[in-house]
Amino acid sequence: MTDNVLKNAYFGSGLYDLALGKKPAQLERVPVDAWLGEPLRANAMFQGRYVAAGQEIVSPNQAPWALEAGPSWHAYFHSFVWLRDFRAVGGTVARQRARELVQSWLTANRRWSPLAWRPDILGRRLAAWIHHSDFILNGARPDLAETFRVSLGRQVAHLRRVAHSGPAGYDRIAPLIGLNIAAIALGGAERWRAQVQKTLEQEIAHQILADGGHIERNPAAHFHVLRDFVGFRLALVEARLDPPPALVAAIDRMTPMLRLFRHGDGALALFNGGTEESAGHVDATLARADVRSRPPASAHASGFERLAAGRTIVVVDVGGPPAAPFDARIHAGCLSFEMSVGSDRLIVNCGATPAVESIWHEPLRATAAHSTVVIADTNALDIRPGGLRRRPHAIAAGRRDADDGTQALDARHDGYAGMFGIDHHRRLTLHRSGDRLAGEDRLVPSGAQKHTAVPFAVRFHLHPDVRASLQQDRRAVILRLARGSGWLFESEASNIALEESIYLGTGRPRRTSQIVVTGASTALTTLNWSLARVGD
């Protein structure tokens, strides 16, 4: 039996249930939730419409944990982050419904279970329960208040044992934030508050890179971690406690990096498992972070570049995968890019599904789901559910920003060198007006391996709101953006095609198209292409 099986057997035993005790937690402070809720989400739950992880289940008069759904869907509802939505509605009816859901959870989940008590979910639930305990308990029946406080104490006791046992990465931040919020709020926590704060500082050192990027290289994960840090800092300040220097420094570094990932619509670029996220939530996080800085053009430690001119923004992935164990969710999008014009997205990556159990989860990690070069329909990284088996040895990038405002980026990776003896080199040049992006993709012989001709495809996934029309000579595609501006994709190749694609930028699949330029590599293959604005 594995260690996890043994631990789970113990956690589910009556002996462990007794060990957690029945001592009520004493709430001495109620830290304010830094983030406003969304009344529309609460109204949907009032009606029995439960939306999470890209899935909606309609079941009036039933609590969400009583419904059949996947673990990613259930994780959201067990986290109780939606309590802020009920609070945003306010009033007696919203308070009563929130109480009913808390009471239902307490009845169904009094004892440990693998999902509801998973460290990241438990950490988010602790923070939500503490932030909104006054909303739930003021005017509540004494028996509910007692049961709530007993459960809170038991959950804190369990999380103190398991906070660092979850998967490496941003899912370890939520348990530590939950424990730190509990340490601020609960009586008798002074003896262990310093230790959980120190553990969080250690995790910051492991996960936040020198340029402020998160180690998983996922813009959405970066956003959520920064949002947690900003909320925790506010809780400390309200309690008249000094935020640790490591936390303050992390917020200062992460805030400009979050700006690097933003498109013109205010939401985030799609790399390594992220979704767009809410532009309003990003705005609120940046405002609360209160760091006045521009986005960096280059983030060398994180491996991203940003070209921006006129109304055009181009974000490029020029980094390698992180070392194990932080590579479990990485995507094979080497040298992929996204492009937006004003508030319209033009070139995108396919995104990711919030539900890891979805049939889309693994296909969306493939190189072909990104706007980059794919050789022989093979991934540039050998991605596996638990991590990587094959990874590039060399990924490099350099840029030249001319005095006239033109920006040029040169990058390369050797992810295909071991199998095909080929390196991929990509040059992107954004005109100073932002009205033209020129690209050059080269397939360069690499190493001692004998090079043979192999098929390749250069893929440009289009946002679903872009309308595309392939010209008869198959050398150009006319593109119409959502707000009416026209762009022309051209290539010297005569084998341009429009193919079907899928977009999950918001977590739900939408049909879209992709421009695909195909060919067979020779000793040295160079393909030039461009995207240029054309008259309306």
Q: What is the DSSP letter of 272?
A: T
Q: What is the DSSP letter of 378?
A: B
- In this structure, what are the phi and psi dihedrals at residue 184, rounded to the nearest 5 degrees? -75, -40
Percent of the chain at pLDDT above 90? 85
- In this structure, what are the phi and psi dihedrals at residue 319, rounded to the nearest 5 degrees? -115, 160
d(CA 26, CA 150): 9
Q: Is the pLDDT of residue 146 over 80?
A: yes
Specify which residues 230 forms β-bridges with.
Answer: none
Look at residue 180 in the predicted model and tell me its pLDDT: 97
Ramachandran sector of residue 21 (left: φ over 0; alpha: ψ -120 to 50; beta: rest): left
**How many C-alpha atoms does 225 have within 13 Å on its Cβ side?**
32
Mean pLDDT of 406-431: 95
Specify which residues 382 forms β-bridges with.
Answer: 390
CB 283 within 8 A of CB 241: no
Pairwise pLDDT comparison (351 vs 484), residue with the higher score: 351
Mean pLDDT of 346-363: 90
* Reported confidence tier of residue 1, pLDDT bands at 50, 70, 90: very low
* Reported confidence tier of residue 431, pLDDT bands at 50, 70, 90: very high
- Name the class of domain 304-534: mainly beta
- In this structure, what are the phi and psi dihedrals at residue 355, rounded to the nearest 5 degrees? -100, 110
Pairwise pLDDT comparison (388 vs 511), residue with the higher score: 511
DSSP 122-175: HHHHHHHHHHTHHHHHTT--HHHHHHHHHHHHHHHHHHHHHTT-S-SSGGGHHH
Mean pLDDT of 13-20: 94
Q: Which of 412, 410, 379 is nearest to 395 (CA)?
A: 412
Q: Is the pLDDT of residue 523 over 80?
A: no
Mean pLDDT of 4-16: 92
d(CA 505, CA 17): 42
Look at residue 358 in the predicted model and tell me its pLDDT: 84
Q: Is the pLDDT of residue 495 over 90?
A: no
Residue written as token pair 């995790």: 203
The predicted-structure confidence for 53-80, as pLDDT tens digits, reads as follows 989 999 998 999 999 999 999 999 999 9
The residue ranges of every structural domain in the chain are 16-294, 304-534
Q: Are strands 486-491 and 525-534 parallel, antiparallel or unpaired?
A: antiparallel
Ramachandran sector of residue 456 (left: φ over 0; alpha: ψ -120 to 50; beta: rest): beta
* Reported confidence tier of residue 357, pLDDT bands at 50, 70, 90: confident
CB 257 within 8 A of CB 319: no
pTM above 0.75, yes or no: yes
The residue type at 367: T
The residue type at 340: S
d(CA 480, CA 489): 11
CB 112 within 8 A of CB 12: yes
* Reported confidence tier of residue 451, pLDDT bands at 50, 70, 90: low
Is CATH 1.50.10.100 the classification given to domain 16-294?
Answer: yes
Residue written as token pair 């040295």: 524
| Mean pLDDT score across all residues of the chain | 94
Task: Please state which of the ranges 145-159, 268-282, 446-460 shows the lowest mean pLDDT.
Answer: 446-460
Mean pLDDT of 441-446: 92
CB 218 within 8 A of CB 272: yes
* Cα distance from N-terminal residue to C-terminal residue, the chain: 67
Percent of the chain at pLDDT above 70? 98
Mean pLDDT of 371-392: 88
From residue 305, give the alpha-carbon distance in Å to each of 34, 301, 397, 432, 512: 31, 11, 9, 16, 26
Beta strands in 310-454 (DSSP E): 312-317, 337-341, 344-348, 373-375, 382-384, 387-390, 395-401, 407-413, 422-430, 436-445
| Tokens standing for residue 377 | 């329909």
